[in-house]
């Protein structure tokens, strides 16, 4: 991901909805060295932002309904949340939460692609999104796992104008020449009850050391540290509440 600041139609933020916010705060704070700041206002329901220095990098919040599963949500920047939500619906996706103002910070919506992979969009006002991207312990890559790769290519290109680069091993998403994410064909690698999903990868200085620390903190190793031919060294985990996330070597994406 060569994009280093929130850019329209590119990833701009990640947020974890979890059944155990306190356990999540402990895991991610100790794993990445993030500083946690919880919003004390009752109306925001325990929303916590993580920071690297003064730069916001991610957030966590309690799940809001029994039907919501614990998962990381990837957020894409939008110049017009209402127009993007309408484009999603026209392209065959779903609007799960209509565009809504969040105080003076911005306007957001919760959406799903035709395969029901959930993501969010953010029309920035006072809050611009991540203050750090593609640096150690910040968001460095996003990945869609889906069983309908052809449909995903058509949908996301139509809604966001992404470029699609297909190689023998992997499909990458891009914007104005900068690749920021990819797509994994779930095919037979996943049990049929696992739904399509978006997953963040966080850039780290040392994948092996971070992987060892994650396992020691109780995360399950889904993919041990692995060198990708022509790509970075990476690993994938699942936290104790079921949220999947990855790590990759900072500066070696794409």
CA dihedral 60, 203, 238, 212 (to 10 degrees): -120
Q: Is residue 3 part of a domain?
A: no
- 170, 229: one domain: yes
> How many domains are contained in the chain?
2
Quick one: tokens of 199? 């997953």
Residue 66 sits in the same domain as residue 120: yes
Which of 124, 156, 182 is at the close of a domain? 124
**What pLDDT score does 111 carry?**
98
Greatest pairwise CA separation for the chain in angstroms:
50
**pLDDT above 90 coverage of the chain, percent:** 82
The whole-number pLDDT of residue 1 equals 52
Q: What is the C-alpha to C-alpha distance for residues 243 and 199, in angstroms, rounded to an integer? A: 9
**What is the reported pLDDT for 225?**
98
Region 112-128: what's the mean pLDDT? 97
- Residue with the bigger pLDDT between 41 and 171: it is 171
Q: Do residues 23 and 99 both lie within one domain?
A: yes
- Does some domain include residue 5? no
Give the CATH number of the domain where residue 147 resides.
Answer: 3.10.180.10
> Could you count the other beta carbons within 10 Å of the beta carbon of residue 158?
15
Q: Which of 77, 101, 124 is a domain's end point?
A: 124
Q: Is 134 a member of any domain?
A: no
pLDDT score of 229: 87
Task: Compute the distance between CA of residue 47 and CA of residue 108 in angstroms, rounded to an integer.
Answer: 15
Residue 2 and residue 231: Cα distance in Å, rounded? 14
pLDDT band at 96; cut points 50, 70, 90 = very high
63 and 21 in one domain? yes
Q: Give residue 40's pLDDT.
A: 65
pLDDT band at 2 (very low <50, low <70, confident <90, very high): confident
Residue 130 pLDDT more than 60?
yes
Place of tokens 């996003």: 142
How do residues 6-49 score in pLDDT, each as one tens digit?
A: 899 999 999 999 999 999 999 999 999 999 998 766 555 678 99
SS3 85: helix
pTM for the complete prediction?
Answer: 0.95
For residue 195, give the nearest of 242, 145, 238, 235 by alpha carbon: 145
Return d(Cα 29, Cα 43) in angstroms, integer: 24
Domain that holds residue 75: 11-124
Average pLDDT, integer, range 229-243: 94
Residue-level pLDDT at 189: 82
143 and 237 fall within a common domain: yes
pLDDT tens-digit map of 52-76: 999 999 999 999 777 889 999 999 9
Residue 131, domain member (yes or no)? no
Question: Do 164 and 232 belong together in one domain?
Answer: yes
4 found inside a domain: no
Residue 175 placed within a domain: yes
2 found inside a domain: no
How far apart are the C-alpha atoms of 149 and 170, rounded to whole Å?
11
Residues 108, 146 within the same domain = no
- Reading the block at residue 85, the tokens are 């939500």
pLDDT in tens, 77-95: 999 999 999 999 999 999 9
Q: Which residues face 73 on adjacent strands?
A: 15
In a domain, 1, yes or no: no
What are 248's two structure tokens? 């990759």
Q: Give helix 207-216 / helix 21-32 axis angle, nearest 10°.
A: 150
Average pLDDT over all residues of the chain: 93
107 and 202 in a single domain? The answer is no
Of 124, 157, 176, the position where a domain reaches its end is 124
Structure tokens at 27: 């895991």
């Amino acid at each position: 991901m060569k994009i280093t600041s929130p850019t329209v139609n590119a990833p701009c933020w990640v947020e974890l909805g979890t059944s155990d916010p306190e356990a999540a705060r402990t895991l991610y704070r100790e794993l990445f060295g993030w500083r946690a700041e919880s919003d004390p206002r009752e109306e925001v329901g325990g929303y916590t932002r993580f920071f690297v220095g003064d730069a916001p990098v991610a957030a966590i919040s309690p799940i809001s309904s029994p039907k919501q599963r614990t998962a990381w949500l990837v957020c894409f920047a939008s110049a017009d949340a209402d127009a993007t939500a309408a484009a999603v619906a026209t392209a065959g996706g779903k609007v799960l939460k209509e565009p809504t103002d969040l105080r003076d910070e911005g306007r957001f919506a919760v959406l799903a692609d035709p395969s029901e992979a959930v993501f969010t969009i953010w029309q920035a006002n006072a809050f611009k999104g991540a203050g750090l991207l593609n640096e150690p312990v910040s968001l460095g890559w996003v990945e869609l796992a889906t069983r309908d790769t052809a449909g995903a290519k058509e949908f996301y290109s139509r809604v966001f104008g992404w470029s699609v680069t297909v190689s023998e091993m992997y499909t990458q998403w891009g914007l104005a020449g900068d690749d920021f994410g990819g797509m994994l064909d779930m095919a037979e690698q996943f049990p049929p009850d696992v739904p399509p999903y978006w997953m963040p990868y966080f850039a780290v200085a040392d994948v092996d050391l971070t992987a060892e620390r994650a396992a020691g903190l109780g995360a399950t190793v889904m993919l041990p540290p692995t060198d990708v031919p022509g790509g970075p060294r990476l690993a994938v985990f699942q936290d104790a509440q079921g949220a999947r996330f990855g790590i990759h070597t900072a500066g070696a994406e794409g």
